[in-house]
Amino acid sequence: MERRLGAVLMWAVLLGSYGRSFGGVLYRVQEEQPPSTLIGSLAADQGLPDSGHLYKLEVGAPYLRVDGKTGDIFTTEIPIDRETLRDCRSMLKADPCFLEFEVSITDLNQNQSPRLIEGRIEVLDMNDNTPQFPSPILTLSIPENTHSGALFAVPVATDRDSERNGVADYSLTTGPDAVALFGLQVAEDRGEKLPQLMVLGNLDREQKDSYDLSIKAVDGGIPPRYSSALLRVIVTDANDNAPRFEKSMYEAELSENSPVGHSVLQVKADDSDMGPNGEIEYTLHQATDATQRLLRIDHVTGIIYVRGHLDREEFSSMKFYVVARDKGSMPKSSKVFVAINVKDQNDNAPTIEIRGIGLVIHQDGVANISEDMPTGTAVALVQVSDRDEGENAVVTCVVAGDVPFQLRLAGDTPNDHKRKYFLQTTTPLDYEVVKDYRVEIVAVDSGNPALSSTNSLKVRVTDVNDNSPVFSPTQLEVDFAEENQPGDKVLNIVATDADSGSNAELTYSIIVLDSSTKGLFEINADTGEVRVRSPLDREHRERYQFHIAATDKGVPSHRGTAAVVVRVLDRNDNDPKFMLSSYSFSVLENMPPLSPVGMVTVMDADKGENARVQLTAGVGRRQVCHPQRQWHYPFQHLV
């Protein structure tokens, strides 16, 4: 990105204190700079590396933006206009104008709380306003007996720019008939240029009673700006003395929320002239629009009254001039400086602002934080402020309730009016125990009576894959009949995972323990349903053993296992078999009945009742059955 330096004046000053309460980074830049003008580099100015850190603008929008990698501060499409900045509109022209900013710095290589950098930018005035007279036609009345060298005040022009770019000079242009009668002298009073018309020759009202001159006001900018007005001189009779105030300046204190009509102070001037030339009229001079909205002056008595609602948090002081002008045909005037300080009342409760910090983003009042973040991780930046002053602005801030969070002071420059805290964890978080917290922050000021306010933040704990899948039970035995069909279901097995989301999504697989089991069983990876791929034969093998694994989809993944034993149940699928294909026995004559004559052996590969054999022997018309649990059967002589 092109960095426009041009004529922009900028430098950073690290201050131990600025005035009475400021410490931090100070930059200076001229107002009205184009977008993307470089104001300063935090990485360079603060001695920080320009990599591995995230810079984020917390306060300063929409006038500023920050490069997230380098910490360079730039202007934006919204121009910085010194004359319209909220904090600068009510200042005197000589006062400096500041734009405050805050930048958080997060170390991306370490799990540490962000660092908060606070600073101000002094907005330097540029000459972007033209001097303006109060009217395009100015009128002065001068007595015809005025002696040469007499001076008459000309209404001043005003310029919204600062003193350097404010009104710097006046000049007068006259016609041929007035070139020998009038000149211009520019005096100075407390930094203000005061044009005065000087009478150079004798005026004769009977000969000519008015003159049209041209007065020009030029400011001190480079290049300068100027405007002109018609100065009409009316020749009349004289007013010898200007009003004179009793004091060189007036000061007063005024409580905020004072009722409309409350009298603040009275200015008083005397004029030793007689008649209308000694009658004085008071008016406010160089008073801001806000001052004129809040105060009014009685034109006759000089008493200043409250005109509108006073709020010290909006305007803590009002500074202006009062002009006393007599009512002579050629009025004379003088002015006096007035300063009114607005005293505070505890009429504002503390304000609690909660916003994201560093990598923790807030959305709709919710902050998301991973359960594996270390203790002391900052989840929010809490700014507590009180628009009052003194003890009324001293605020105590705490986290309410029994939650694992606390406030830690942030920033290097605490002040009673505005404090910043990191809201950080005090113990490890566990998604499986508590998934979210409602953190309520209470702020109480030190006024009497005290005012308080609350704000809350929902902290949502996000899951990490810190739990393995679990089978219950971890060992299963199942009976399954032989002579099955391929694809028959053996069992369903389910594991659970205390995590959530993809961390709890499980995939099932079979771990074979011997080669003879490989490929014999299959499992649905999603449901955990186990099926047999081939017919089983109990006579070949009565027992199979393997493990089932459940693996989650977290990164890195975790796995749990269970042991499965399949017992093959017998079916009567085998015929009894004689050991020999034929048997031959010899019988002695006259043998008694039931005498043994021989032994046959029968085998059955089945088991249990399916293996119990019943033999039937037939001799003539007589038969005998000898059911035995053995496979050896004796033959007996029956007759």
CATH of the domain at 111: 2.60.40.60
Could you tell me if 326 and 412 lie in one domain?
no
Domain count, the chain: 6
The per-residue b/e assignment along 579-590, b for 16 or more CB within 10 angstroms, e otherwise, is: eeeeeeeeeeee
Instruction: Please report whether residue 8 resides in a domain.
Output: no
Q: Can you spell out the DSSP letters for 452-518?
A: EEEEEEEEEEEP-S----EESSSEEEEEEESSPPTT-EEEE--EE-SS-GGGG-EEEEEEESSGGGT
Residues in the chain: 639
Could you tell me if 362 and 456 lie in one domain?
yes
Could you tell me if 455 and 474 lie in one domain?
no
Look up residue 91 and give its amino acid: M
Return d(Cα 312, Cα 346) in angstroms, integer. Answer: 10
Question: Whole-prediction pTM value?
Answer: 0.56
Could you tell me if 226 and 327 lie in one domain?
no
Could you tell me if 19 and 91 lie in one domain?
yes
Residues 533, 536, 542: CA angle, nearest 5 degrees: 130
pLDDT at 79 over 60: yes
Confidence tier at 11 by pLDDT (50, 70, 90): very low
Examine the fold and report which residue of 432, 462, 492 is the final residue of a domain before the chain moves on: 462
The 3-state DSSP class for residue 292 equals helix
Return d(Cα 57, Cα 410) in angstroms, integer. Answer: 16
Q: Can you spell out the DSSP letters for 395-421?
A: EEEEEESS-SEEEEEEEEEEETTEEEE
Could you tell me if 203 and 302 lie in one domain?
no
Instruction: Please report whether residue 377 resides in a domain.
Output: yes
Return d(Cα 74, Cα 8) in angstroms, integer. Answer: 12
CB 122 within 8 A of CB 28: yes
Look up residue 453 and give its amino acid: S
Examine the fold and report which residue of 569, 598, 620 is the final residue of a domain before the chain moves on: 569
pLDDT at 633 over 60: no
Return d(Cα 123, Cα 99) in angstroms, integer. Answer: 7
Closest CA to 400 of 355, 361, 452, 440: 440
pLDDT at 179 over 50: yes
Instruction: Please report whether residue 52 resides in a domain.
Output: yes
Could you tell me if 157 and 91 lie in one domain?
no
Could you tell me if 395 and 363 lie in one domain?
yes
Instruction: Please report whether residue 302 resides in a domain.
Output: yes
Per-residue pLDDT tens for 311-369?
A: 887 888 999 999 999 998 778 999 999 999 998 888 888 999 999 988 888 888 899 99
Could you tell me if 49 and 20 lie in one domain?
yes
CB atoms within 10 A of CB 293: 13
Per-residue pLDDT tens for 360-374?
A: 888 888 999 988 889
Instruction: Please report whether residue 501 resides in a domain.
Output: yes
Confidence tier at 425 by pLDDT (50, 70, 90): very high
Examine the fold and report which residue of 313, 343, 373 is the final residue of a domain before the chain moves on: 343
Residues 562, 566, 568: CA angle, nearest 5 degrees: 180
Q: What pLDDT does residue 414 have?
A: 62
Share the mean pLDDT of the chain.
86
- β-bridge mates for residue 96, sequence order: none
Per-residue pLDDT tens for 133-168?
A: 999 999 998 887 788 999 999 999 988 777 778 888
Could you tell me if 316 and 395 lie in one domain?
no
Confidence tier at 57 by pLDDT (50, 70, 90): very high
Could you tell me if 296 and 357 lie in one domain?
no
Per-residue pLDDT, averaged over 589-602, amounts to 85
CB 451 within 8 A of CB 388: no
Instruction: Please report whether residue 263 resides in a domain.
Output: yes
Instruction: Please report whether residue 4 resides in a domain.
Output: no
Question: What kind and span of H or E run contains 212?
Answer: strand 210-219
Could you tell me if 408 and 445 lie in one domain?
yes
Identify the domain containing residue 159 by its residue range. 137-236
Closest CA to 430 of 500, 371, 497, 502: 371
Instruction: Please report whether residue 3 resides in a domain.
Output: no
